Amino acid sequence: MQWNWAFVAEITPTLLQGLKLTLLITLLSAIVAAVLGLVFAIARRSPNRLVARPVSFLVEFIRGTPLLVQLYFIFYVLPDIGILLPPLVAGVIGMGLHYATYTAEVYRAGIENVPRGQWEAARATNLTTRQTWVHVIVPQAVPPMIPALANYLIAMFKETPLLSAITVLELMNQAKSVANSSYRYIEPMTMVGVFFLGMSLVSVVILRWLEHRYGRLGK
Amino acid sequence: MPEWSGYLTLILQGALVTAQLTLFGSVLALLAAFTAGLGRIAPWWPLRWLATLYIEFFRGTSIYVQLFWAYFVLPFMGISLSPLAAGVLALGLNVGAYAAEVVRGAILSVPKDQYEATVALNLTKVQRMRHVILPQALPLMLPTFGNNAIELLKATAVVSLISLTDMTFQAQIVRAQTGSTLVPFAMILLLYFAMALVISTLVRKLERRMTRGLEGVR
């Protein structure tokens, strides 16, 4: 089978629509992952063992099992107990939750890197636990970790094709439906690959800039 | 109540396929990682260039795209792969690209005076790698390799989308036939977790073995 440029031109608008949804999903799940990851990281450090232990186990469990199965679980099992989610929401929650367990580790490294004196100073100035986290620890722990967090943003972007399995019409699914209706696989699949490669090359440039701007850990 | 024992066997058969994929994929990934990792620090530039191209390409595109490409596009070019072969190929090459960077990093982190010492002792390049550099670099690679193996295990779930009867695929069949969703999915989640635990335990054991005798060196 030969490569057909006319066909490529014909399917590009459909694929671009998929790409737009892919970017939207990435952005939304990134927000979920960034927020939830911080919650996990702080909860794991809780002095209350009834909080720290279960959260630790949950994080390890989510990180040790495939995202695809978790997506199936959210999409197929939750409706049985009355929680019916649209595919997009299920996908964003699933991906956000999965990557939150990774960002939690990143935050943990950032938090451990805040000098001990900062904790002691917070105690000495009689700040509450909440105040210590909000005003002292988090503002110092998070900025150095931004490049590492951005790394996971790229990883998430590359995982979005999984959402096609729960019927979200993102880039991969658009390509598949084009391929199935025209019986041509080479162009759609290759184009998806090209889009992904292009996007990750752009994101590498952005990542370099972020590393330059926020600096590496320990510098 | 459906016949659970039959469905249980189905899922366990799937678990076997998943284990196979993980094993073969890891072997291929290991080969690719060392080839590309050593290629990236080779003194000959075309080799460096090729290795960089491989790594950037496989890290830059998504594993799902690679898998679909291996299964749906390669046949049009005259290379027909069975789903298992396509799965192993895509998984192995993808994870291998990530692991190649680990190999490179670990080898470069061996202190420079070790290289100088091998030159002073007149060792050949092979001897230098085999007896001096690798024994020090391998323990550094192992923990990350363990993580990579777990990533590979998790990525195997995707092969169910190219109709390979792995654990996830079988769970979908059980779901379709029984209408029960919680049992099959909860079960395979636990099985995946158990497999991940096995991998991390094995790697930790291996690490302890390999670092034996290295105390006080670093």
Q: Where are the domains of chain A?
A: 5-214
The CA radius of gyration of chain B, in Å to the nearest whole number, is 21
The torsion of the CA quartet B110, B116, B119, B125, rounded to 10 degrees, works out to 20
**SS3 sequence, A124-187?**
HCCCCHHHHHHHHHHHHHCHHHHHHHHHHHHHHHHHHHHHHHHCCCCHHHHHHHHHHHHCCCHH
The tokens for A40 are 């996990």
DSSP state of A46: -
A-B CB pairs within 8 A amount to 99
Q: Which residues of A touch B61 (CB under 8 A)?
A: 158, 193, 196-197, 200
Provide mean pLDDT across the span A169-182. Answer: 85
pLDDT at B215: 63
Higher pLDDT, B25 or A180: B25
Provide mean pLDDT across the span B25-54. Answer: 93
3-state secondary structure of A86: coil
The CA radius of gyration of chain A, in Å to the nearest whole number, is 21
The tokens for A18 are 């998929």
The three-point CA angle B169-B175-B181 to 5° equals: 115
Q: Do A65 and B196 touch (CB under 8 A)?
A: yes
To the nearest whole percent, how much of chain B has pLDDT over 90? Answer: 48
Q: Which residues of B touch A193 (CB under 8 A)?
A: 61, 65-66, 69
The three-point CA angle A151-A160-A2 to 5° equals: 110
Report the distance separating Cα B115 and Cα B216, nearest Å.
19
Count of all residues that appear for chain B in the document: 218
A192 in reach of chain B (CB within 8 A): yes
Least confident of A48-62, A171-185, B37-51, B89-103: A171-185
pLDDT at B217: 55
Q: Is the pLDDT of residue B92 over 80?
A: yes
Chain A interface, best mutation among B56, B65, B193, by max A CB count within 10 A: B65
Whether the Cβ atoms of residue B168 and residue B160 lie closer than 8 Å to each other: yes
Q: Do A72 and B76 touch (CB under 8 A)?
A: no
- The CATH superfamily of B4-211 is MetI-like (1.10.3720.10)
Report the distance separating Cα B199 and Cα A146, nearest Å.
30
Q: Which residues of A touch B65 (CB under 8 A)?
A: 161, 172, 189, 192-193, 196
Whether the Cβ atoms of residue B168 and residue B178 lie closer than 8 Å to each other: no
Least confident of A145-154, B16-25, B91-100, B187-196: A145-154
Task: Report the residue of chain B nearest A161, measured CA to CA.
Answer: B64
pLDDT at A219: 40
The three-point CA angle A82-A83-A89 to 5° equals: 160
Provide mean pLDDT across the span A69-92. Answer: 90
Report the distance separating Cα B91 and Cα B22, nearest Å.
9
Q: Is the pLDDT of residue B218 over 80?
A: no
Could you tell me the pLDDT band of residue A218, with boundaries at 50, 70 and 90?
very low
Higher pLDDT, B112 or A213: B112
B4 in reach of chain A (CB within 8 A): no
pLDDT at B216: 56
- The CATH superfamily of A5-214 is MetI-like (1.10.3720.10)
Report the distance separating Cα A174 and Cα A78, nearest Å.
26
Q: Do A193 and B65 touch (CB under 8 A)?
A: yes
B85 in reach of chain A (CB within 8 A): no
Residue A72, min C-alpha distance to chain B (Å): 8
Q: Which of residues 97-156 of A touch B (CB under 8 A)?
A: none
pLDDT at B80: 83
pLDDT at B83: 86
Task: Report the residue of chain A nearest B186, measured CA to CA.
Answer: A73
pLDDT at A215: 61
Whether the Cβ atoms of residue B172 and residue B160 lie closer than 8 Å to each other: yes
Q: What is the mean pLDDT of chain B?
A: 89
Q: Is the pLDDT of residue B152 over 60?
A: yes
Q: Which residues of B touch A155 (CB under 8 A)?
A: none
A68 in reach of chain B (CB within 8 A): yes
Burial of A128 (0-12, 13-18, 19+ CB in 10 A): exposed
Residue B125, min C-alpha distance to chain A (Å): 34
Whether the Cβ atoms of residue A63 and residue A101 lie closer than 8 Å to each other: yes
Task: Report the residue of chain A nearest B149, measured CA to CA.
Answer: A64
A58 in reach of chain B (CB within 8 A): no
**Nearest-CA neighbor of A45 among A107, A131, A115, A127?**
A107
To the nearest whole percent, how much of chain A has pLDDT over 70? Answer: 97
**Nearest-CA neighbor of B10 among B204, B171, B188, B183?**
B171
Q: Is the pLDDT of residue B97 over 90?
A: yes
Whether the Cβ atoms of residue B177 and residue B25 lie closer than 8 Å to each other: no
Q: Which residues of B touch A73 (CB under 8 A)?
A: 185-186, 189
Least confident of A124-128, B75-79, B143-147: B75-79
Provide mean pLDDT across the span A79-89. Answer: 88
**Nearest-CA neighbor of B11 among B192, B162, B214?**
B192
Q: What is the mean pLDDT of chain A?
A: 88
